[in-house]
Every structure is written in structure tokens, then in C-alpha cells.
Amino acid sequence: LSPDGRCHPVITWGNGTGSTPSAYRSLLGLFASHGFVVIASNSKNVSRGDPKPMLVGVTWVLEQNAEPTSALYQHLDPAHIGATGHSQGAVATSQASADARIFTNVPIEGATAQRNLHGPAMFFCGTLDDIVGCDGAARALEAVTTLPALYAENVSVDHGSWMSFGGKPSPTYAAVTAWMRVHLMADDALRPWFYGETCQLCADAGWKIEQKNMAP
């Protein structure tokens, strides 16, 4: 945490069915290395419960932000909270996005349509995914009316291979992290990755991109 008083945005994470955060250590560590505070439930069924684990995590970190004895005290930015997760965690991410505290969300391999979003969304899927497929991400994009939204299909990955890329840095990791930086950190230098008809991902043969309300 920054000693200079800077407040950090938050990302709440949802695991796939039967998984725990340790299975996603490299991605969550990447988020943290960019200055996000990451909260990730140990639940193996993050779409279940009332309230759902991803939102319980948000409530907890915000309580810590207000607690003088906590290491997180006044280190968080409550106005900039993102949600992302994989598979069942993607479904949970879509569910969590109905909460007014969630400003942006990125469901990974399992988006569901959500009409009461509170900020920009990126719906990710892999062309080779024969478990969930891309239909959910496409329907999620269709459900968006006025907010910025991006359908991002990586043509080279399946349901889980986006987490590794032949020993090379994962393009999915880079895209999700960049999306969070743009929308939670106001990193305008990365905005051309996603916005405008000639966006960087739009011109990349490794991606199939559809945009809504994403003028430069």
C-alpha cells in the first residue's frame, strides 16, 4: 500500500466451480502489482449465497477502509471497484454487477445478460471453449443499451487455456488488466486498446471484437 496516501481501486474476484484463488494466483498477483487491492473468496461456488461471496468481499474491504486499526484504513477508493471472475465466477461477476458499488466488470468465459449495469463492461470468451462457449458473452453485449461495452473473443483459447499462452505472457491477462486500469485508474494511455473503431484489439488478428457505445 502506498505510503503517500494514494487510494487504491478494488477488484473482487470469483473462482470457477471447485476452484480457489490459488488457481488464479498469477492473474490476481498481476492485478495487485498494478496497484489494485484484490479481494477473492475461498468459496468454490461463488454464484451461491445471499449475499454472494464476491459482494461479501466488497463489503468487508470497505469496512476495513473505515476501520482505524486495519492495514487498509483509508487506503481504498470506494468509488472505483471492479468485478471479474472465471466460469462460475463469471456468472457471479454478472450477478455482482447489479450492485451499485461495482463500477466495471469483466466476466471471463461465462457472462450472463445483465441490464442494470453501473458502468462499462467487457465480456470475454474463447473461440475454442466447448464448455461454456461464446453465446453468453454475445447475449450479455446485446443486453447493454447505453453504457460502454465490449465483446472480446480470443480466437486461440478455450475455457482454461487463456490462463497460459505457451510460456508467453497471456494476451487475456494484459487485456483484462488494461481494461481495469482504464476504468478504475483513469489510465487514458491504454484507452485506445478498447475505444474507437480502430481500437488496438479491433486491429489484432488474435481477437474478434464488437463494441457498443465506445466512441473515442
Task: Give the residue-averaged pLDDT of 22-30.
Answer: 95
Contact indicator for 214, 196 with CB cutoff of 8 Å: yes
Residue 48 has pLDDT above 90, yes or no: yes
Burial of 185 (0-12, 13-18, 19+ CB in 10 A): middle
Copy the grid coordinates of residue 21.
484463488
Q: What is the pLDDT of residues 51-64, one digit of tens each?
A: 999 999 999 999 99
Distances (CA, A) of 145 to 3, 18, 31, 94, 211: 41, 34, 29, 16, 12
Q: What is the pLDDT of residues 102-131, one digit of tens each?
A: 999 999 999 999 888 999 999 999 999 999
Rounded CA separation 12/206 (Å)? 27
Copy the grid coordinates of residue 91.
456468472
State the DSSP string of 65-129: HT-TTSTTTT-EEEEEEEEEEETHHHHHHHHHTTSTT--EEEEES-----S---S-EEEEEETT-
Distances (CA, A) of 23 to 26, 41, 105: 8, 12, 20
pLDDT, residue 165, reads 67
For residue 21, say if its preceding peptide bond is cis, omega within 30 degrees of 0. no
Rounded CA separation 93/96 (Å)? 5
